[in-house]
A = this chain, B = another copy of it.
């Protein structure tokens, strides 16, 4: 049985984006610093940081059979992800607004699910066929998954920068309902990679 795994980069002061997030500024002001460790600018994921590919969100996608994202993340990502999105698998978008599926190149499909996170996850698990389900965000969807006991693992990339403002990764999480147990840590220049087992309480 596959696991449900969230993956997020976070600044030292707790932000998963900078301020002023909008279409065309999906990571917010300064928020791209959170992804620099992946080394996009220097020859591919993680090349600059000297870390293995297995640490990046791309590895998570490789072992996953389906993806669940929030509507806001989809709206911000649809254009930069382009006609051949990096997913190459079914993506289920949690939304309140019904919308016809969108079929992209390379195996990515966007399917809009209006029944909440549990309904989206059921669709994703069915599509994943025993592989993992990746939950790349946004922060609020990850919080909902964690509090509902639907999340098995959080991969947290703590980036050694301050952003000062933006979206707080743990902003509205109820600490009484979620326990994080650290199962792995790898330190690299400018970023510390954590893996946590996620438990919902009660």
Please report A residues at the B interface, Cβ cutoff 8 Å.
12-14, 30, 156, 158, 160-164, 168-171, 173-176, 178, 180-182, 185, 187, 190, 192, 194, 196
Contact = CB atoms under 8 A, between A and B. Distances in A.
Number of chain copies forming the complex? 2
Given A158-B158, A182-B190, A185-B187, A12 B164 contact: no
Contacts of A171: 13
A171 to B, nearest CB: 8
B162 A182 contact: no
A160 B182 contact: yes
Contacts of A180: 12, 160-162
23 contacts: A12-B156, A12-B170, A12-B180, A13-B168, A13-B169, A13-B170, A13-B173, A13-B175, A14-B14, A14-B170, A158-B158, A160-B182, A161-B175, A162-B178, A162-B180, A163-B175, A164-B174, A164-B175, A164-B176, A182-B190, A185-B192, A187-B187, A192-B194
